[in-house]
Amino acid sequence: MNDIPAGGGKTVGVLALQGDFREHREMLERLGHAVREIRKAEQLDGLDALIIPGGESTTIARLLISNNLREPVRAFCASGLPVWGTCAGAILLAKEVDNLDRPGIEMMEISVKRNAFGRQLDSFEADLEVKGLEGRPFHAVFIRAPLITEVRKPATALCRLADGTIVAARQGNMLATSFHPELTGDSRLHAYFLTIGHVGSRRPAAPEGAPLELVPYLDTAGRITIWPAKQQAKQIAVEHLAGRFERGRRYTENEVNTLLVQAHTFGDHTMLRRYLCDFGFLERTADGSSYWRAETAARAPVGTP
Ligand code: GLN
């Protein structure tokens, strides 16, 4: 019996756009966890951890974008909960890839080279020492695997082949492996993965003063990591943002932008500025040179998407 008891009882998401997500599901279920296949952004809510499986990285990158999942998955990585990319998943997590025709998730300070082991080595197996795993070596399966060619701080190498080639790396709550631990009977890496990041918690508690409804959308610093889809949650999020502006003070557009950039992580301060004005929390001169917090209660938004 290879399993390490891992406590079980977590809800783990496995990105299920393409690739070998079913094998991860089986491994996680054997460890006693609930598994949710992720195809839409809303399905990320309430997860304890997320796996990006192996498969074809260009296909998964394309589907991440067309399913509007790229930014939400990036926000999930920033939330501090465990995220693990295996093989194609590791390619997608890397900030630098030699040959990918569109952006992946790009959250880990690693460089990877796709299909780097050459034709004669399309697939191979090796026994590896993995930092953090006790006991016998981990038997790893490589299939058209990527090489991790560089690991930059704060990422660190966790595991190397005998010739020094890096095949696993970790950066805080994120883990990348070139190989496929879901294809062997050994669940130690799945168990280890669930101990990195915010152990045992769902999303981190909201910072003081943040409304409870916003908790799923905030990181520990109170930044909005995902833009809510529901109108009511949007309204609360915009009101929360408005709280960052002092009453009675005038702001230039640049100052507004700076405050908003600090208040979220998904890279769309222009949209946030527009919502603040549309929902009546900020007023501005006609030429947009000066903004201030509205004195009156915000009016109900009319026809805002
Ligand atoms: N070669 C694949 C790619 O580059 C990865 C292979 C795998 O996930 N097993 O996307």
Q: Per residue in 211-235, pLDDT tens?
A: 767 777 777 778 898 898 888 889 9
**Residue 99 amino acid letter:** N
pLDDT of 3 above 50: no
Q: Could you tell me if 257 and 245 are in contact, meaning their C-beta atoms sit under 8 angstroms apart? A: no
In angstroms and rounded to an integer, the radius of gyration of the C-alpha atoms of the chain is 22
If one residue of 23, 102, 143 were mutated to test the ligand 1 pocket, choosing by the most ligand atoms within 8 A of its CB, it would be 143
If one residue of 23, 57, 183 were mutated to test the ligand 1 pocket, choosing by the most ligand atoms within 8 A of its CB, it would be 57
Taking only the tens place, the pLDDT of each residue in 76-94 is 999 999 999 999 999 999 9
In this predicted structure, what is the pLDDT of residue 42? Answer: 94
**Residue 293 amino acid letter:** R
Backbone angles phi, psi at 209, to 5 degrees: 90, -15
In this predicted structure, what is the pLDDT of residue 297? Answer: 56
Å from CA of 179 to ligand 1 middle = 10
Q: Which residue has the tokens 């301060």?
A: 269
Minimal-distance CA residue to ligand 1 atom 2 = 56
- Give the mean model confidence (pLDDT) for residues 282-295: 94
**Residue 299 amino acid letter:** R
Beta pairing partners, 157: 169
- 85: closest CA among 208, 172, 11, 178? 178
In this predicted structure, what is the pLDDT of residue 222? Answer: 80
pLDDT tier at 246 (50, 70, 90 boundaries)? very high
- 87: closest CA among 114, 127, 118? 114
Q: What percent of the chain has pLDDT over 90?
A: 72
pLDDT tier at 132 (50, 70, 90 boundaries)? confident
Residues with CB under 6 A from ligand 1: 54-57, 87-88, 91, 114-115, 143-144
Alpha-carbon torsion angle 59, 61, 63, 68, nearest 10:
180
- Which residues are marked as active site? 87, 180, 182
Å from CA of 86 to ligand 1 middle = 9
Q: Strand ranges (DSSP E) for the chain?
A: 11-15, 34-38, 49-52, 83-86, 94-97, 108-113, 123-128, 138-143, 147-151, 156-160, 166-171, 174-177, 282-284, 291-293
Atom of ligand 1 nearest to the CA of 143: 9
pLDDT of 134 above 60: yes
In this predicted structure, what is the pLDDT of residue 299? Answer: 54
Taking only the tens place, the pLDDT of each residue in 35-46 is 999 999 999 999
The chain-wide mean pLDDT, for the chain, equals 88
Alpha-carbon torsion angle 220, 45, 280, 260, nearest 10:
40
pLDDT of 60 above 60: yes
pLDDT tier at 298 (50, 70, 90 boundaries)? low
